[in-house]
Amino acid sequence: MTSLAQTRAAPARPRLGVGARTATGIAAGTLLLAAAPLYLAPYATTTLTRILVFGLLAASLNLLVGVVGLPSLGHAAFFGVGAYAAAWTAIHGLAGAGALLVGVVVAALVALVAGAVAVRASGVFFLMLTLAIGELTQQAADSWESVTGGSNGLYGVPAPTLFGTVLDQPATTYWYVLGFFVVGMLALRLVSTSAPGVVLRGIRDSEDRMRALGYRTTAIKLGALVFAGAVAGLAGGLLAAQQRLVTPADVGFETSALALLAVVIGGTGSWWGPCLGAALVIVVRDSLGATLDGHGPLALGLLFVLVVYLLPTGIARIRLRRAAS
Amino acid sequence: MIDLLRCQDVQHRYGALTVLRGVRLTVSAGDRHALIGPNGAGKSTLLKLIAGEERPSAGTVHYRGRDVTRDPVHRRARAGIGRSFQHSTLLGSLTAAQNVALALTGGRLLARHTDRRHRAEVAEALAPVGLTDLADVPAAALSYSQCRRLEIAVALAAKPQLLLLDEPAAGMSGEERGGLVELLRSVPPTVTIVFVEHDLDVVFDVATRVSVLHLGTVLHSGTPEQVRRSPEVQQAYLGGRMEEVHGEAGGA
């Protein structure tokens, strides 16, 4: 028995080695994050929750920006649609995972419709189309009062419940968000590091060549956009569960721009880098911004300029560069 | 017998500029068909029309007896039309091996290109162009001539029935050209090749048919020997260069 198991395991070992190291890293990171509420104050825990939500949004945007090469200025549209759909569902009696699922599906559908138009363009044209899609979505959130609550937003979103427990404490909300954050991040990692990820990078490098090799690049790009939109919708659903309130600002340009900022700061080269960028953006905007007498955006601008000049490949590269040398 | 490729009265305009004015081209299975002619004769445009990157303004393209004039690029690629690019469009951030692997898996998004069978096929594709040791180097880090060779490895790895090569020898040294000729000669006859090339040594070493394009029309089409002897071809394009080739052919 043992010898059979050994012979079967032996050839796979070199590949398992790399996989095992990544898996250990992911498990360690998850454990560290899971333990955070035990040593953090409730306010810090809430900030960390916000970072997870925004990090998932930034990481889903990075699938478009960093992997497929589609810079989007309207990614908050899918985030916001997911948030509204989940909040509406929760208010109408289905809180928790069911609301998240509705958020994901509705965001994916909106991404499908928006993407059918947008993926035919590229470069600046794609940027402009996504900007328009984001603005349209925000307008809809503002004016479709019977569903979205207009400029007041949707408030009084019930806290999610899990196994009969209402998750309304900072720590319980955090763990709830963390659970789905991990699911979303693993899904993004699966797509960007596996075989389809190589195809997506190929399209980024040369769409002409990929077409000449037989790839239906327009359809594949649309698929990537729908997937990224769905994950953004998941992040939106988590936002609704945490913030218990969704407003048109969550759909708008500022959220999209901050997500893109997080991607640039964190670096487009890795699937987790944008989360670091998101953490910096949230900390500077929410915590540091409050002490700067409302000059948070200024601090963000300075941070952006510094990172672009000093670390053009993003802060996630610092560690990698050191490890390589 | 049905011709593998037939272009009928193909015309193409870019705005006011007419690049092709009624080209007829017939390619039989197994041919190595060279397209030669001065710059601006429309050779690269003709390749693009065959590959599907451009649609002709008039005329039809038939491939394996079927009208493919309106088919998109990826559909023609899946039907067996492969091509290399004149200006390298290799996937820079991906390794040489990944560039080949994406060609091997022929347009399938979910194909696994990391398993053992694929690794063996990738190695098989890289060996003849001498890139075995550079398999895991990103294409962006390869030298110009290495890129040209990878370009050909990728084109062959897609296992096309009709292979379109746009100036495969461009920028290669004399020695590398020799290697290229050898490589092209070793391509099995099941693969038909249509290639644009300026280097006449490569053309006459590889081609079984030659078409001369001039000002958007086919001036002459025939065996290399017929083309060499055609007075109008010599006058229009080959000129003094022809004597050199004659001399070499006579000496060999």
Please provide the distance, in angstroms rounded to a whole number, between the alpha carbons at the two ends of chain B: 35
Task: Report yes or no on A12 lying in a domain.
Answer: no
Helix, strand, coil shares of chain A, percent, nearest 5, are 80, 0, 20
Average pLDDT over chain B, rounded to an integer: 84
Task: Report yes or no on A162 lying in a domain.
Answer: yes
B18, B137: one domain:
no
Indicate if the pLDDT at residue B251 is higher than 70.
no
Residue that has been written with the tokens 């100036």 in this structure = B167
Residue that has been written with the tokens 């694929």 in this structure = B118
Give the other-Cβ count within 10 Å of B18's Cβ. 15
β-bridge partners, B162: B81, B192
pLDDT of the residue at B114 = 62
Give the chain A residue nearest B113 (alpha carbons): A195
* Structural domain span for residue A112: 41-249
B150, B173: one domain:
no
Contact A211, A276 (CB under 8 A): no
Task: Report yes or no on A306 lying in a domain.
Answer: no
C-alpha distance from A218 to closest chain B C-alpha (Å): 10
User: Averaged over B128-140, what is the pLDDT?
Assistant: 88
Provide the pairing of β-strand B217-222 with B17-27: unpaired
Question: What confidence tens digit (pLDDT) does each residue in A155-185 have?
Answer: 888 888 887 788 888 888 999 999 999 999 9
Q: How many domains does chain B have?
A: 2
Task: Report yes or no on A261 lying in a domain.
Answer: no
B5, B126: one domain:
no
Output the DSSP codes for B142-197.
S-HHHHHHHHHHHHHHT--SEEEEESTTTT--HHHHHHHHHHHHTS-TTSEEEEE-
Task: Report yes or no on A30 lying in a domain.
Answer: no
pLDDT-derived band at A228 (thresholds 50, 70, 90) equals very high
Report d(CA B167, CA B175) in Å as an integer. 16
Report d(CA A14, CA A291) in Å as an integer. 51
Looking from the CA of A191 toward its CB, the CA atoms found within 13 Å total 24
Task: Report yes or no on B50 lying in a domain.
Answer: yes
Q: Collapsing DSSP states into helix, strand and coil, what is residue B86?
A: coil
Indicate if the pLDDT at residue B43 is higher than 70.
yes
User: Averaged over A233-247, what is the pLDDT?
Assistant: 93
Give the chain B residue nearest A219 (alpha carbons): B109
- In angstroms, what CA-CA distances link B164 with A202, B83, B114, B187, B197? 21, 4, 28, 13, 11
pLDDT of the residue at B249 = 39
User: Averaged over B45-49, what is the pLDDT?
Assistant: 92
Give the chain B residue nearest A211 (alpha carbons): B74
Write down the ipTM of this complex. Answer: 0.79
pLDDT-derived band at A317 (thresholds 50, 70, 90) equals low
Q: How many domains does chain A have?
A: 1
Indicate if the pLDDT at residue A28 is higher than 70.
yes
B21, B66: one domain:
yes
Positive or negative, the CA dihedral A97, A100, A102, A104 is: negative
B82 and A212: CB-CB below 8 Å?
yes
Task: Report yes or no on A271 lying in a domain.
Answer: no
Indicate if the pLDDT at residue A101 is higher than 90.
yes
The H-or-E segment that residue B32 falls in is strand B32-36
Question: What confidence tens digit (pLDDT) does each residue in A4-22 have?
Answer: 333 333 333 334 445 778 8
Which residue type sits at A210? Answer: M
B144, B50: one domain:
no
Name, in order, each residue with C-beta under 8 angstroms of A35's C-beta and a sequence gap of 6 or more: none
Question: What confidence tens digit (pLDDT) does each residue in A279-293 have?
Answer: 988 988 877 777 777
Task: Report yes or no on A263 lying in a domain.
Answer: no
Task: Report yes or no on A237 lying in a domain.
Answer: yes
* Structural domain span for residue B97: 92-159
Task: Report yes or no on B212 lying in a domain.
Answer: yes
B58, B172: one domain:
yes
Cβ contacts (< 8 Å) between A212 and chain B: which residues?
Answer: 51, 53, 73, 77, 82-83, 85
| Nearest one of B217, B50, B237, B248 to B227, comparing CA atoms | B237
- pTM equals 0.83
Question: What confidence tens digit (pLDDT) does each residue in A71-90 have?
Answer: 899 999 999 999 999 999 99
B189, B130: one domain:
no
